[in-house]
Chains A and B, each alone.
Chain A
Amino acid sequence: GEDVEQSLFLSVREGDSSVINCTYTDSSSTYLYWYKQEPGAGLQLLTYIFSNMDMKQDQRLTVLLNKKDKHLSLRIADTQTGDSAIYFCAEIRRGTDKLIFGTGTRLQVFP
């Protein structure tokens, strides 16, 4: 389909790991991105992965990329209450300059 799909909600206990999944559409996307949106704020770039990589780790964040299945995931280790936000994956479609966002996953962290 045309949409970049994500599950809508994820609820985790503080200290556990969170895994947010994304299915994107363009297998030739060069970079794939993860953005975070806190309540009442704009989006902030968290991390990105180049398409020739399978994995990228950045402190508590791990990005996994499965190009065959066009599947991207973001793992947050030791999830904190400050991680509660909406997380968006995004891709730039081939032949365009358009950054297309996924449907967003609302992460709720409870004590």
Chain B
Amino acid sequence: DTAVSQTPKYLVTQMGNDKSIKCEQNLGHDTMYWYKQDSKKFLKIMFSYNNKELIINETVPNRFSPKSPDKAHLNLHINSLELGDSAVYFCASSPGGGELFFGEGSRLTVL
């Protein structure tokens, strides 16, 4: 009964490939996020959805495309992977404000 679950937890792939990370929350929250954490542990917001609608879209390359089929799911698809995409990607959900509930992260390694 994990609140925010992401799959896969680890992903190793070659440059140029396309991959997806899935996220699901069972908390009934309207808002979901994707954050990227680099090797220095810096966290940067990438996207935010509210009830399936995109509300925050940071300056992220358009190779990254989020999709929210319903308010409990927010998936991240990445095309043409590059070395610099290697990071830990965190999904989070929120009832509003700054209280976020994070998944355990998906570590992406691009070779």
Contacts and interface: CB of A to CB of B under 8 A. Distances in A.
Main secondary structure of the interface of A (DSSP, over half): strand
Interface stretch (B11-19, B64-72, B101-109): B101-109
Contacts of A98: 45, 48, 56
Interface in B4-52: 4, 31, 33, 35, 41-43, 45, 48, 50
Nearest to B90: A42
Interface stretch (A19-27, A68-76, A86-94): A86-94
A83 B50 CA distance: 33
Interface stretch (A10-18, A43-51, A56-64): A43-51
Main secondary structure of the interface of B (DSSP, over half): strand
Contacts of B41: 37, 86, 103-104, 106
A92 B42 contact: no
Chain A interface size range? 20 to 34
A42 B105 contact: yes
A97 B43 CA distance: 16
A99 B45 contact: yes
A90 B48 CA distance: 16
Interface of A: 31, 33, 35, 37, 40-45, 48, 86, 88, 90-92, 96-101, 103-104, 106
9 contacts: A33-B99, A42-B90, A43-B92, A45-B100, A90-B98, A97-B50, A99-B98, A101-B35, A101-B42
Interface of B: 4, 31, 33, 35, 41-43, 45, 48, 50, 55-56, 90, 92, 97-105
